């Protein structure tokens, strides 16, 4: 007859056996198939749903065992896009998902990129197709939600490197990126300065985008801004080549004389004032330059063909510089 002590030993032994067998079972892959399987776990997905899906897809053999051993990570797994395989063990899968070893995409928006450049970067990063992003960037519902009165997100996606995992909806990512721009304009000193210049967020971004495309050197941005501000005050057209190019949509083509006289909502040679909207994503330096132009009387500038510009107060002086640097440019060819 078993004593109370014997029964206790047997019970403990059985528990140890069950635990040991479970650990062994959870450590052994159920298959030899090494083909990658992409699993996307959205935020808020329950542990039971994750386990059931993995079992249904044949990645694990027991959802119950998966849930038990998830306690090693507090029963909480990190949402994201995971590359799993059937030759992985339950413990191996849990380790990956418990630590958040997920696929992260990097999206880099460079200063001066327009929506079409950004679309190319998004497709290259495998976040979404180019055409899908451009459609989203012009979606009226999204624009309205963000409080953007323009017809696209042009100018509202600030330059930086952004990291993205597919548990987040792409719409959410784009909204977060755009919100960073709005955060700049919620500051009281910025709002006050815009009021002094009779600018709003859209006009400021439009002017900043022109400065971004015209200026190669950071220190020249306030000077180029001053030229635009001075011309606006004198009721002169802004005559900015980058706006003409944006209006044609032919971003990799040389500007032609015919382009300068063809009206578009962006051709600042054909009307006075700012173009319809931004022509690229300006950085913060360009935004600040738009709000705080240099105190100078320049009305013209021309490229010196080395990334810098020469500035002038009158047309005669400007024309001399145009001839000088245009001749130098042609000589180099």
| 25-99 fold | Dna Ligase; domain 1 (3.30.1490)
What pLDDT shows up at residue 254?
A: 81
Question: Please, are residues 281 and 107 in contact by the beta-carbon 8 Å criterion?
Answer: no
Counting every residue, how long is the chain? 333
Distance CA 151, CA 154 (A): 8
For 255-267, the pLDDT digits (tens) are: 888 889 999 999 9
For 215-248, the pLDDT digits (tens) are: 999 999 999 999 999 999 999 999 999 999 999 9
What pLDDT shows up at residue 11?
A: 58
Closest CA to 284 of 197, 187, 195: 187
Every domain of the chain and the residues it spans = 25-99, 105-185, 188-332
What pLDDT shows up at residue 324?
A: 86
Closest CA to 105 of 162, 164, 168, 42: 164
pLDDT at 65 over 50: yes
| Six token digits for residue 115 | 């929506």
Distances (CA, A) of 63 to 38, 48, 57, 69, 219: 18, 8, 11, 10, 61
Count Cβ atoms below 10 Å from residue 141 Cβ, excluding itself: 9
Question: Please, are residues 252 and 261 in contact by the beta-carbon 8 Å criterion?
Answer: no
What pLDDT shows up at residue 331?
A: 47
Question: Please, are residues 108 and 118 in contact by the beta-carbon 8 Å criterion?
Answer: no
What pLDDT shows up at residue 14?
A: 61
pLDDT at 31 over 90: no
pTM assigned to the model: 0.83
The pLDDT-based confidence of 32 (bands split at 50, 70, 90) is: confident
> What would you measure as the largest C-alpha separation in the chain, in angstroms?
117
**Rounded to the nearest 5°, which phi and psi values hold at 307?**
95, -15
Mean pLDDT of the chain: 89
What number of CA atoms fall less than 13 Å from residue 12's CA on the CB side?
A: 6
Percent of the chain's residues with pLDDT above 90:
67
CA 41 from centre of chain: 22
Closest CA to 205 of 274, 137, 261: 274
Helical (H) or strand (E) element with 82 = strand 80-84
Distance CA 227, CA 135 (A): 35
């Amino acid at each position: 007859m078993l004593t109370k002590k014997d029964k206790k030993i047997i019970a403990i032994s059985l528990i140890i056996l069950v635990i040991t067998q479970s650990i062994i079972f959870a450590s052994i892959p159920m298959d030899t198939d090494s083909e990658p399987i992409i699993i996307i776990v959205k935020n808020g997905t329950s542990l039971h749903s994750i386990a059931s899906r993995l079992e249904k897809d044949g990645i694990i053999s027991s959802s119950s065992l998966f849930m038990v051993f998830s306690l090693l990570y507090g029963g909480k797994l990190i949402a994201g896009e995971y590359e799993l395989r059937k030759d992985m063990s339950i413990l191996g899968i849990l380790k990956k998902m418990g630590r958040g070893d997920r696929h992260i995409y990097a999206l880099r928006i460079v200063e001066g990129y327009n929506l079409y450049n950004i679309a190319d970067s998004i497709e290259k990063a495998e976040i979404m197709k180019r055409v899908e992003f451009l459609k989203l960037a012009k979606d009226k519902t999204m624009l309205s939600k963000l409080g953007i009165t323009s017809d696209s997100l042009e100018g509202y996606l600030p330059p930086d490197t952004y990291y993205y995992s597919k548990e987040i909806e792409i719409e959410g990512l784009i909204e977060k990126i755009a919100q960073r721009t709005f955060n700049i304009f919620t500051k009281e000193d910025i709002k006050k300065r815009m009021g002094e210049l009779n600018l709003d967020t859209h006009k400021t971004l439009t002017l900043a985008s022109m400065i971004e495309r015209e200026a190669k050197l950071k220190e020249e941005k306030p000077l180029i801004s001053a030229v635009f501000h001075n011309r606006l005050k004198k009721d002169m057209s802004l005559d900015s080549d980058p706006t003409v190019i944006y209006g044609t949509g032919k971003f990799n083509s040389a500007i032609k004389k015919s382009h300068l006289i063809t009206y578009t909502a962006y051709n600042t040679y054909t009307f006075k004032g700012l173009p319809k909207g931004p022509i690229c994503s300006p950085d913060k330096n360009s935004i600040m330059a738009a709000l705080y132009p240099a105190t100078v009387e320049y009305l013209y500038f021309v490229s010196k063909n080395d990334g810098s510009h020469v500035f002038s107060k009158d047309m005669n002086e400007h024309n001399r510089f145009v001839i000088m640097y245009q001749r130098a440019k042609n000589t180099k060819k």
